[in-house]
Structure 1
Amino acid sequence: MDQKVYELINAQINAELYSAYLYLSFADYYEEEGLEGYANFYEIQAAEERDHALIFRNYLHENGQKVKLSAIAQPDKTFSNFLEPLEAGLEHEKYVTSLINDIYSAAAEVKDYRTMKFLDWFIEEQMEEEDTADTMITKMKLFGSDAKALYDLDQEYAARTYTTPSPLAAAE
C-alpha cells in the first residue's frame, strides 16, 4: 500500500473516533436539555462513527498494514440553543467528507483501485450523512420554536435504531 494512502487511512481511524466523541457530546447536551430523542439520535451516530473507525482498521489489517492509534481530542463545543449542535454536525460531516475525498484522491494518484473501491461505500455514506444533517437543521428551523412540533421531532429521533454498517456486518 502506498505510504501516503496508508497514513491518510490510519489518520481516518482517529478522525472517526473523534467523531464518535463529538456526537456523544451532542447526545449529552440534548439529554441534559430534556430532548432524549435527539440524544438517542446522536448516541447512534456515535456508534456508527466508531464502526466506521473499525471498518478502516479492518481494511488496514486486511492489507497487511499496522494500525497506529493516537490520542483522541476532547470535543470543545458548547451550545446555547437546540440548533447549534445540528449546525456543528453538518459542518463536521462536510469536514469528514473532505477527509474521505483526500484519501480517494491519494489512492487515485497511485492507481490504488482497491482502496478507491473500498472508499465508494464511505462516499455514499457521507452523502447520506450530510443530507440527514441538513434535513435536521431544516426541521429545527421550521418547527423547533413550537413545543408540540419539537416534541414530535424528538419522538421521531427517539424511534431511531442502530444498524450495523454493511461493511462491518460483512466482516462478521
Structure 2
Amino acid sequence: MNTKRLSAKVEKALSDQMNKEIHASHIFLSYGIWADDKGYQGIANFLYRHSQEERNHSIKFMEYILNRGGKPKVAAIPAPPADPKTLTECFDGVFKHEVDNTTAIYKIVDLAMEEKDWATWNFMQWFVQEQIEEETLAQNLIDKLKIAGGDRATDESLFTLDRAMQSEPNDVPLAQEATGSNP
C-alpha cells in the first residue's frame, strides 16, 4: 500500500525549502562571524541565534515530509555571500533574504492550494506567520541602525545598539517542540 501523502511536485518544493532554510542558516552564521570579528558581539549573538532558528525551520520541513510519507532530499548548500562591508549592508542582507524566503513560502502555499493538498497548505500557514515576524524583525534592525546614525553612527551609538542586541533572549525554541498553541 502506498502511504505517501505528498505529490512528487509538493515533496520537491518542500525539500527545496528545507535546503533553502539550511542555506539561510549558513548566511546568518557567516554574518555572525563577520560581526563577531568586527567586535559586535551582541549583533553576532543575535545572528548566531537567528542561524539556529533557520536550521530549526529546516528540521520542521524535514519532519513534515517524513510524516507525510515522503523522503526529503538534502542538496548541496551554496556558499554564503561575501562578507558585508558595513552594518547597513549586513542588515539589508538579512532583510533581503527574509523577503526572498517569504516569496518561496508563498509559492509552496500556492502549489498546495493548486493541488488541493490541504494538509500542506495548513502546515505552511505556520511559516506564513513566521515570515511576517522575520520580516518585521529584519526591518526593525534596519530602523534601529538608522536611529543610531547608520553607517555614520558614532562608536557610542553602535556600542549601545550592540549592547541592546546582546541583552535579547538567547533561547531559540526547537522546531520539533512547536505546537498549534505554541508555534
- Tell me if both proteins adopt one fold, taking TM over 0.5 as the criterion: yes
The question of whether the paired residues in 1 share the 8 Å contact of 2:30 and 2:83 is answered with no
Once the two structures are superposed, residues 2-49 of structure 1 have per-residue CA deviations (whole angstroms, 9 ceiling, x without a partner) of: 221111001011100000000011101100110000000000000000
Count, aligned residues: 170
The question of whether the paired residues in 1 share the 8 Å contact of 2:94 and 2:138 is answered with yes
Percent sequence identity is: 31
Distance in 2, Cα, partners of 1:152 & 1:24: 22
Counterpart for residue 171 of structure 2: 162
Does residue 148 in structure 1 map to residue 153 in structure 2? Answer: no
The partner residue of 1:65 within 59, 70, 78 is 70
Does residue 36 in structure 1 map to residue 41 in structure 2? Answer: yes
Does residue 24 in structure 1 map to residue 29 in structure 2? Answer: yes
Instruction: Please state how far the C-alpha of 1:146 moved relative to its aligned partner.
Output: 2.6
Once the two structures are superposed, residues 107-159 of structure 1 have per-residue CA deviations (whole angstroms, 9 ceiling, x without a partner) of: 00011111111111111110110011011101111204032222121112112
Give the TM-score normalised by structure 2: 0.89
Q: Give the number of the structure whose residues are more often helix, by fraction.
A: 1
The partner residue of 1:110 within 91, 107, 115 is 115
Give the TM-score normalised by structure 1: 0.94
Name the larger-Rg structure. Answer: 2
Once the two structures are superposed, residues 46-99 of structure 1 have per-residue CA deviations (whole angstroms, 9 ceiling, x without a partner) of: 000000000000000100101111111111222221111100110000000011
Distance in 1, Cα, partners of 2:112 & 2:100: 19
Structure 1: gaps of 5 or more residues = none
The question of whether the paired residues in 1 share the 8 Å contact of 2:22 and 2:58 is answered with yes
Distance in 2, Cα, partners of 1:143 & 1:93: 23
Distance in 1, Cα, partners of 2:161 & 2:121: 37
Counterpart for residue 55 of structure 2: 50
Query: What's the RMSD between the two structures over aligned residues?
Result: 1.3
Structure 2: gaps of 5 or more residues = 1-5
Could you list the structure 1 runs, at least 4 aligned residues long, displaced by more than 4 angstroms after superposition.
none
